[in-house]
Amino acid sequence: MAMLGILLPFAAMTTLVVWERETRIGAALVVIGFCGWLLVNRRHPRFLARIPPSRLALWSFLVAIAHGAGLMLVPIYLGLCVPDDINAGHRAASALFGQGLGLSVTVAAAHTGAMILSGGAIAVAVYAWRGLGFLNKGWFDLDRVWALSLVAVGGIGLWTSV
């Protein structure tokens, strides 16, 4: 659901071929603006920590949206990936977007399932091996790096659109 929340607006924008340039500029500005806000506002939202375990799916959805689930596909929508210049994974993603919503949702669901299983397995393994104390001692924050990389992607998208 988090990926759909990010990807569907961009997918809808790609149908507006007549407005392609304006759409690319707008999408680039949204990415730059969002990431600029992330760089200025360094506090994590406190309400995410107050969600009870019975609402774990809601918490997961909110955290995925807050951390930009689906934004890794924005460069394809911004036109930064030209089929001649990209690897097989980007070519497959570009071809998938042209196949229709049903296939895209199926692939997104399979990807989500694989990520849940692999992430869950890693979480259980780390918990069994290191315990919860590992989070206090071994945690590192990449929020600023992530935000700066997205600002760069938005800037490149804006530059190629203009």
Nearest partner of 71 among 9, 16, 6, judged by Cα? 6
- Taking the alpha carbons at both ends of the chain, their separation in whole angstroms is 32
Write the pLDDT tens digit of every residue in 38-79.
888 877 666 656 777 777 787 777 777 766 666 666 666 666
Report how far Cα 156 is from the mean position of its chain's Cα atoms: 17
Q: Strand, coil or helix: what is 86?
A: coil
Q: Which residue ranges in the chain fall short of pLDDT 50?
A: none
Buried b vs exposed e over 69-94: b needs ≥16 C-beta within 10 Å?
Answer: bbbebbbbbbbbbeeeebeeebeebe
pLDDT, position 123: 86
pLDDT, position 118: 94
pLDDT, position 114: 93
- Angle at the Cα of 41 (from 120 to 155), degrees rounded to 5? 85
Contacts 24+ apart (CB under 8 A), 142-147: 143/38, 143/42, 144/39, 146/67, 146/68, 147/35, 147/38, 147/39
Euclidean distance between CA atoms 27 and 40, whole angstroms? 20
pLDDT, position 121: 94
Euclidean distance between CA atoms 99 and 161, whole angstroms? 25
Query: Residue holding tokens 């596909």?
Result: 73
Contacts of 7 (CB under 8 A, 6+ apart): 70, 73, 104, 108
